[in-house]
Amino acid sequence: MTYATDPVYWALRQLRSERATDAIADAWECWSGSRPAAITTEQVWIRYRPFNKARVVLRVEVTPINEAPRQMDIMFSARASESAFKDDLAASPIIDSPPDVLPSFVIEAWRTIAWVLPYVPRPAALSKCMEPETIGVLLNTSNIEAIELLRYVPMRRALLRFSSNGQQYYAKIFDSAEQYRESAAALNVVADLPVRVPRLIASAPEMHTLVMDSLPGIPLSHYLLTGSLQPLADTGSALASIHLLGSVPEKIRLSSMELKDIEHLLLADLTLALPKLADRIKDLICTLADRLKSLGEVEPVAIHGKFFGDQVLFDPTEAPSIAIVDWDDFAGGDPHFDLGRLIAHILFESSMTLGADSSKRVTVLVDSYKRAGGVVDHERLQWHVVAALLLRVKISLLRTLVPGWETKLDAIVSQAEAVLTDYSVVVGTRLARGVG
């Protein structure tokens, strides 16, 4: 059993081929009474769970006969089994989309349901928040311009960007009331950090929606392998300030929970898609489990919880230069969780770029973190770097299925094995064990 025999992967191949345009054209003709003159598609987002399900968002341009082109984003949800597909059909609510919008449709041969964004089942408030009047009430203004659906995580959350009176804002809509409350509380807790964080402008508990201001800066991802080292140095200091925050959130993220995530995601997904990697992944997970028993858990501190390059913005003209966004996973936990994730992001990008040397940039990051008061236990950091590399398999490759993803998955597993065997590959020189 491999991804080649997976019905979900087969459905994904159809959705990424010309057959997708045929399916959309069929739905359009059934709805409007005439087949469009042309359709083009572009993949925006994908999440693939082998032999289980997949969700894909395509940016679609439909050109009806003798009419101007219409652009829309369509979410497709595919299932592996007929029973799960029927359950989805039974559970899917009727979405009240406007009369000029293509309604949801079903592609039975692919066990797939499709919705035109933002008229999706969840988050329930997404389509309402796309209306200028709704956002205007929150900001007490009638001047709302250019509402854009910037990011959509199916059934979980969405991020909108819009302008009002010359200022840019973001609105985040959550499906879960609990996630909404936790995110609002996190923004209030981190407001006084010596870094720039989003300022909470307005909230709508009944719609699970937060409105925040926009922060200037270039994502740290642009500096992970090239350019000035200053962004990484400033990021190290900023990260230490989070970990030194006196208040620890009630929600705790244990290292054992991260290990369970790896076991669930990789053993259930990756080993099914690429069984040739199964033994190597199992060996890595067993080694991580054994080492965690020896290391034990630490006294939790405040952690960001999703500390990748895209969550950090650098602007040397601002004071402070670093802005940190996306606080949805703010929790108490091991500080090496955050540091390990960012280092893993650097190593991952290095492995995807032939000849790129990451050791100096990692050293600058870690040294700056320590100078700002952060404490590094290198054995724990090694553990978290390996764990984060394995999770990168899902985040950066299984979700996107970029060309050559099978070979790249093998490369990331090899990199995790190398770090676990020889920690010096992280920074290029051997570091003393213990705390430093």
pLDDT in tens, 153-203: 888 999 999 999 999 999 999 999 999 999 999 999 999 999 999 999 999
For residues 348 and 397, the answer to whether their CB atoms sit within 8 Å is no
For residues 329 and 306, the answer to whether their CB atoms sit within 8 Å is yes
Given pLDDT bands bounded at 50, 70 and 90, which one contains residue 434? low
Element (H, E) at 53: strand 53-63
Residue 430 has pLDDT above 90, yes or no: no
Given pLDDT bands bounded at 50, 70 and 90, which one contains residue 429? very low
Distances, alpha carbon 358 to alpha carbons 218, 243, 265, 407, 429, in Å: 20, 24, 27, 21, 12
Determine the pLDDT at residue 392: 83
Domain 126-213 annotated CATH 3.30.200.20: yes
Given pLDDT bands bounded at 50, 70 and 90, which one contains residue 300? very high
Q: State the amino acid at position 306 in one-letter form.
A: K
Q: Mean pLDDT of all residues in the chain?
A: 92
Residue 424 has pLDDT above 90, yes or no: no
> With pLDDT > 70 as the criterion, what percentage of the chain qualifies?
95
Determine the pLDDT at residue 100: 94
Choose among 62, 3, 69: nearest CA to 31. 62
CA distance 125 to 103: 18
Residue 301 has pLDDT above 50, yes or no: yes
Question: What SS3 string covers 82-98?
Answer: HHHHHHHHHHCCCCCCC
Determine the pLDDT at residue 354: 62
CA distance 60 to 42: 7
Q: What sign does the CA torsion over 158, 93, 269, 329 have?
A: positive
Per-residue pLDDT averaged across 60-75, rounded? 96
Domain 218-427 annotated CATH 3.90.1200.10: yes
Determine the pLDDT at residue 91: 83
Determine the pLDDT at residue 356: 67
Given pLDDT bands bounded at 50, 70 and 90, which one contains residue 436? low
Residue 431 has pLDDT above 50, yes or no: no
Residue 393 has pLDDT above 80, yes or no: no
For residues 403 and 281, the model is more confident at 281
pLDDT in tens, 24-59: 999 999 999 999 999 999 998 888 888 899 999 999
Phi, psi of 421 (to 5 degrees): -80, -40
Distances, alpha carbon 148 to alpha carbons 169, 170, 238, in Å: 11, 9, 30
Per-residue pLDDT averaged across 293-315, rounded? 97
pLDDT in tens, 310-363: 999 999 999 999 999 999 999 999 999 999 999 999 998 888 876 567 888 999
Residue 215 has pLDDT above 70, yes or no: yes
pLDDT in tens, 234-259: 999 999 999 999 899 999 999 999 99
